[in-house]
């Protein structure tokens, strides 16, 4: 097989803004089909059907308090003495009626007996067993939860497209749904390239470095609610890369790091071009350029592939800016943008004048200030681990001064639903 020259990558070089690149990426990724999963496996996924209540919630009128079920007219004034005619625990069903001048002891969640329309809290009584004294006048209907007051049978309780949080999982549980249809979570192959990159537990020789990216990127895939399929480290030969990508193409998406510069050993672009298509973009940002985006062909399937830069900060940051939104979109999320904020810069920041610069920042929301995490080199991964935001500085300036208001991307917060 002919070896494709790595330098062909240079000829395809194009310059794009972040927004242009993201728009192309979001337009180029497929949405995944729905499937049915057990309710707990649906956390974080996107609901692929309108969930309809199959019965009223609560299914019967019940007490909101421990106390006495009574007739409202009997407790309109206090004190009042009522005859205790029974006891209803949660899970029991009352067979007797509460008549005038009568009360029934009732536990929280227990069904209201016929005749009663009001619950007097136990704290407002003398807790009597045979006869109870009501010490406080109680309004009719108090402490009673009506049948269907939360959800009505037939009502859409969670619309299609909703990202399921614990509260939605609970709502689905109350309507008696052990399984739900959600958009499938993307399974994402992650691999590292580079002859210098070694496994975490391998002996390390001069000139070698540990594989940070496969771990940070696989974790980022997981944090995006997707399933990481961590493939190995691939050496800098077209043959090794070809074999690895053939494997990887059974995933829903592929993320590689390294090998997308225009050095002699950078094979990602030419090899992917053989196996599908790949655009090689020079995005006017720091850290992070270059970025390669394309698709592998696996029979009729088209598998998006992201060739991220090798520097550990650049790869994780370009994942955040481009890959995370793409994976969320594949998983059915309508909104793929992190929340943003503005804050007062506490220190001077120097940046390359022509580039959009994403400084790693520490945002203090209590006084709307932000400072950087310190040294901002694209190999300094601590700058990412200390950060709770990205300071988004536009092209056109080479310096920002203390006191200026700057834009932030709140990378510690989930995308609004
Ligand atoms: P590359 O994009 O392949 O030219 O790599 C750029 C820089 O990132 C080089 O210093 C590489 O050694 C480093 N690098 C590449 N891959 C990894 C990795 N998986 N983990 C840590 N550093 C890496
Ligand atoms: Mg490399």
106-149: per-residue pLDDT in tens?
999 999 999 999 999 999 999 999 999 999 999 999 999 999 99
Say yes or no: CB of residue 257 within 6 Å of ligand 1. Answer: yes
Check residue 1 and give its pLDDT. 36
- The CA R_g of the chain, rounded to the nearest whole Å, is 31
Q: Whose atoms come closest to the Cα of 191: which ligand?
A: 1
CA 136, chain centre distance (Å): 49
Say yes or no: CB of residue 200 within 6 Å of ligand 1. Answer: no
The 8-class DSSP code of residue 123 comes to G
The H or E element spanning position 327 is: helix 324-330
Say yes or no: CB of residue 197 within 6 Å of ligand 1. Answer: yes
Say yes or no: CB of residue 308 within 6 Å of ligand 1. Answer: no
Average pLDDT over residues 51-59: 93
Least confident of 29-38, 259-268, 393-402: 259-268
SS3 379: coil
Say yes or no: CB of residue 312 within 6 Å of ligand 1. Answer: yes
Locate the ligand 1 atom nearest the alpha carbon of residue 196 and give its number: 12
User: pLDDT by residue (tens digit) across 339-385?
Assistant: 999 999 999 999 999 999 999 999 999 999 999 999 999 889 999 99
Architecture per CATH, 6-32+185-330: 3-Layer(aba) Sandwich (3.40)
Distance 197 CA to ligand 1 centre (A): 7
Check residue 8 and give its pLDDT. 39
Check residue 9 and give its pLDDT. 39
Distance 138 CA to ligand 1 centre (A): 72
Q: Would you say 257 and 315 are in contact if contact means Cβ atoms under 8 Å apart?
A: yes
Torsion of CA 109, 113, 116, 121, to 10 degrees: -30
Distance 299 CA to ligand 1 centre (A): 31
Q: Which two tokens stand for residue 75?
A: 């407790």
* pLDDT over 90 (residue 272): yes
Q: Would you say 119 and 70 are in contact if contact means Cβ atoms under 8 Å apart?
A: yes
User: pLDDT by residue (tens digit) across 327-344?
Assistant: 999 999 999 999 999 999
Mutate to test the pocket of ligand 1, among 193, 311, 377, 380 (most ligand atoms within 8 A of CB): 311
Q: What percent of the chain has pLDDT over 90?
A: 85
| Rounded distance between C-alpha atoms, residue 70 and residue 208, angstroms | 79
Q: What is 340-409's CATH number?
A: 2.40.340.10
Confidence of residue 288 (pLDDT cuts 50, 70, 90): confident
Q: Which two tokens stand for residue 216?
A: 């940070």
* pLDDT over 60 (residue 250): yes
* pLDDT over 60 (residue 7): no
Say yes or no: CB of residue 314 within 6 Å of ligand 1. Answer: no
Distance 361 CA to ligand 1 centre (A): 23
Say yes or no: CB of residue 256 within 6 Å of ligand 1. Answer: no
**Within 43-142, where are the H helices?**
none
62-145 belongs to CATH 2.170.190.11: yes
Dihedrals phi, psi of 168, to nearest 5 degrees: -70, -35
CATH of 38-57+149-183, one of 3.40.50.12780, 3.30.870.10, 3.40.50.300, 3.90.105.10: 3.90.105.10
Say yes or no: CB of residue 213 within 6 Å of ligand 1. Answer: yes
The count of other CB atoms within 10 Å of the CB of residue 416 is: 10
Of the candidates 96, 97, 103, 95, the residue with the CA atom closest to the CA atom of residue 74: 103
Locate the ligand 1 atom nearest the alpha carbon of residue 214 and give its number: 19
Average pLDDT over residues 217-234: 97
Distance 213 CA to ligand 1 centre (A): 8
The H or E element spanning position 22 is: helix 18-28
Check residue 6 and give its pLDDT. 40
Q: Where are the domains of the chain?
A: 6-32+185-330, 38-57+149-183, 62-145, 340-409
What string of H, E and C letters represents the secondary structure of 259-290? CCCCCCCCCHHHHHHHHEEEEEEEECEECCCC
Say yes or no: CB of residue 287 within 6 Å of ligand 1. Answer: no
């Amino acid at each position: 097989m002919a070896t494709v020259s790595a330098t062909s990558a240079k000829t395809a070089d194009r310059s794009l803004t972040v927004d242009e690149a993201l728009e192309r990426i979001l337009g180029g990724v497929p949405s995944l089909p729905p499937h049915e999963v057990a309710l707990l496996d649906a956390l974080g996924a996107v609901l692929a059907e309108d969930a309809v209540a199959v019965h009223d919630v609560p299914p019967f009128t019940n007490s909101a308090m421990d106390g006495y079920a009574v007739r409202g007219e009997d407790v309109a004034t206090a004190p009042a003495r009522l005859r205790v005619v029974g006891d209803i625990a949660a899970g029991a069903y009352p067979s007797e009626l509460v008549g005038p001048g009568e009360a029934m002891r009732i536990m929280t969640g227990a069904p209201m007996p016929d005749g009663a329309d009001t619950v007097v809290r136990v704290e407002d009584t003398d807790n009597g067993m045979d006869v109870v004294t009501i010490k406080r006048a109680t309004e009719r209907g108090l402490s009673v939860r009506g049948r269907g007051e939360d959800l009505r049978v037939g009502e859409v309780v969670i619309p299609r497209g909703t990202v399921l949080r614990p509260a939605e999982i609970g709502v689905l549980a109350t309507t008696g749904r052990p399984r739900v249809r959600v958009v499938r979570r993307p399974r994402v192959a992650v691999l590292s390239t580079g002859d210098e990159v070694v496994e975490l537990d391998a002996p390390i020789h001069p000139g070698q470095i540990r594989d940070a990216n496969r771990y940070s990127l696989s974790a980022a895939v997981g944090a995006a609610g997707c399933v990481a399929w961590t493939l190995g480290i691939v050496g800098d030969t077209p043959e090794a890369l070809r074999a690895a990508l053939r494997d990887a193409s059974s995933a829903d998406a592929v993320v590689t790091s390294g090998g997308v510069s225009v050095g002699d050993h950078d094979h990602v672009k030419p090899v992917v071009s053989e196996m599908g298509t790949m655009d090689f973009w020079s995005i006017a940002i720091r850290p992070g350029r270059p970025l390669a985006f394309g698709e592998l062909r696996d029979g009729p399937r088209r598998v998006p592939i992201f060739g991220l830069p090798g520097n550990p900060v650049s790869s994780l940051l370009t994942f955040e800016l481009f890959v995370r939104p793409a994976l969320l979109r594949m998983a059915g999320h309508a909104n793929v943008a992190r929340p943003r904020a503005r804050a007062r810069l506490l220190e001077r920041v120097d940046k390359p004048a022509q580039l959009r610069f994403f400084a790693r920042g520490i945002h203090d929301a209590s006084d709307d200030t932000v400072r950087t995490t310190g040294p901002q080199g694209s190999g300094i991964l601590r700058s990412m681990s200390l950060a709770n935001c990205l300071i988004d500085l536009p092209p056109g300036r080479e310096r920002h001064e203390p006191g200026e208001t700057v834009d932030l991307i709140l990378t510690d917060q989930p995308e609004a639903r």
